[in-house]
Amino acid sequence: MITVTAFKWVPPFARGLVRDLRVRWALEEAGLSYREQLLGQDEKDSADYRGWQPFGQVPAYEEDGLRLFESGAIVLHIAERSESGEALLPAAPAARARAVQWMFAALNSIEPHVQNLALIDLFCPDEDWAKARRPEAEAFVQRRFAALAERLGDQDWLDDGRFGAGDLLMASVLRILRHTDLVAAHANLAAFLDRCEARPAFQRALAAQLAAFEEA
C-alpha cells in the first residue's frame, strides 16, 4: 500500500494548496490507491520523520520499502509506474521527454517566483521590506505568466494534445496565487486552470485533503 504524508492542520489560507495535494492528484489520475499519514506539528520534526523527509515537510511517500520526498520527484515516480499506462506520461520517448520538461518548468521557472510573491502576500504583508519588494516580485510573475500564456496559445494542454504530469504540476503552481487576479489576466491560463481543476481526479484529491482538515 502506498502511504502519503500530510498535515493534520494548516491555516485556512493554505488549505487546498499544501503539496500533498499534487501527489494525491497524481495517484488519482494514475488509478493508484493510497493511505494518508497525518502529521501534527511536533511529529514533522521527529528524528524518525526527518530520516524520511529531511526538511520536515510534506508530502513524503512510501511504497514497498521505497521512501521518497519532494512532490515533483514523487509525481514523476507515480507517472512512471502508473497502472493506467499513459495516464500522466506518454509512451513515445520524445513526447515523454517534453512532458518531463514541463514538470521541471513548473517547479523551476514558475514556482519560485510565485512562491516569492505568495510569501510576501500571505506571511509578511505588513513588513516594510515586503511592501518595498512586492511591485518587483509581482512584475516578475507577470512576465513569467505572459511567457507561459504565449507558449500555451490556444492549446488545451501544454504539450502533445493531452493532459499529463506537466499540466498537473503547472496547475498546482498557478493555484498558489488564487488570492490574486494574475492568472485571470490571461484568458487562456485561466481556462487551462479551470480545465485542470474540473478533472474528477483533482476533485477527489482536493476533497481528501480538505476532509482531513475538517476532521482536525
111-123 and 165-174 helices cross at what angle (nearest 10)?
30
Q: Is the pLDDT of residue 82 over 80?
A: no
Q: Does 3.30.300.30 match the CATH number of domain 93-199? A: no
- Going by DSSP bridges, is the β-strand pair 34-39/2-7 parallel, antiparallel, or unpaired? parallel
Q: What is the topology classification, in CATH, of domain 2-87+201-215?
A: Glutaredoxin (3.40.30)
Kindly report, residue by residue over 125-176, the tens digit of the pLDDT: 999 999 999 999 999 999 999 999 999 999 999 998 999 999 999 999 999 9
Same fold, 2-87+201-215 and 93-199: no
Beta strand 60-63 pairing with 34-39: unpaired
What lies within 8 Å, CB to CB, of 15 at 6+ separation is 209, 210, 213
Using one digit for the tens of pLDDT, what is the confidence trace for 86-125? 789 999 999 999 999 999 999 999 999 999 999 999 999 9
What digits encode the pLDDT tens for the residues 48-81? 999 999 999 999 999 999 999 999 999 999 999 8
Average predicted confidence (pLDDT) for the chain = 96
Cross-strand pairs, 63: 66
Do residues 86 and 152 touch, judged by C-beta distance below 8 A?
A: no
Domain boundaries, the chain: 2-87+201-215, 93-199
In this prediction, residue 3 carries a pLDDT of 98
